[in-house]
Amino acid sequence: MRDGFPEFRLGKVLATSFTGTLSERHGDAVERIPTPRRLVDWLAVSGLAVDSCTPAQLDLARELREAVHLAATAAATQDALPAAAVRVINDRSAQGRAAAILTPEGERRWRLGLDSRVEDALGVIAADAIGILAGERDGRLALCASPTCRAAFFDTSQSRTRRWCDMNTCGNRQKKARFHANQLRKSGSAQ
Ligand SMILES: [Zn+2]
């Protein structure tokens, strides 16, 4: 917790890292960008620093987040992409102004438009989502095995058999649950 707000769970893939700002969607949901300020913080740590954020821009961001989540879930389960979600993703992508910049160290950075608007950052996220949904990148969209999570994540493991959106949270919880179940069984059979 920072300033009383839930910590971010940052992944390596921008689009699914963004959908992860709402976690435990099928349990006690945790909103990790509850205020405009927290969206500014999340964008900054994700390499998309913006100058400011209004409540309306936070709404735009959350609308994009849910659209990416719906589309990624459909792709992971091999369902047709929901048209409304596709429209939102395309609108955000079209309305952002950002340029890919190559640093002298050979890294790719994003330079947002002149006034570094939230819309520019959302455009980068939407384009990232499009790249994944279009199957352009090496990996597979999958859903987290945790029944309270079911987050869509991008599996880039060699075997494509990753089961959890995050090893440190969902994966770890599952391991602990299995450990406790084993302990219970052992103590039960000893009696
Ligand atoms: Zn999960």
Three-state SS string over 135-149 comes to CCCCCEEEECCCCCC
Express each pLDDT in 40-65 by its tens digit.
999 999 999 999 999 999 999 999 99
What torsion do the CA atoms of 57, 62, 65, 69 make, to the nearest 10 degrees?
A: -160
Q: Write down the pTM of the prediction.
A: 0.90
Q: What is the pLDDT along the chain (191 residues), one digit of tens a residue?
A: 556 899 998 888 999 999 999 999 999 999 999 999 999 999 999 999 999 999 999 999 999 999 999 999 999 999 999 999 999 999 999 999 999 999 999 999 999 998 899 999 999 999 999 999 999 999 999 999 999 999 999 999 999 999 999 888 898 877 777 777 888 787 776 55
Question: For residue 170, how far is its CA from the centre of ligand 1 (angstroms)?
Answer: 5
Domain ranges, ordered by start, for the chain: 14-141
Question: For residue 188, how far is its CA from the centre of ligand 1 (angstroms)?
Answer: 30
What is the C-alpha separation between 156 and 25, in angstroms, rounded?
A: 23
Question: For residue 174, how far is its CA from the centre of ligand 1 (angstroms)?
Answer: 10
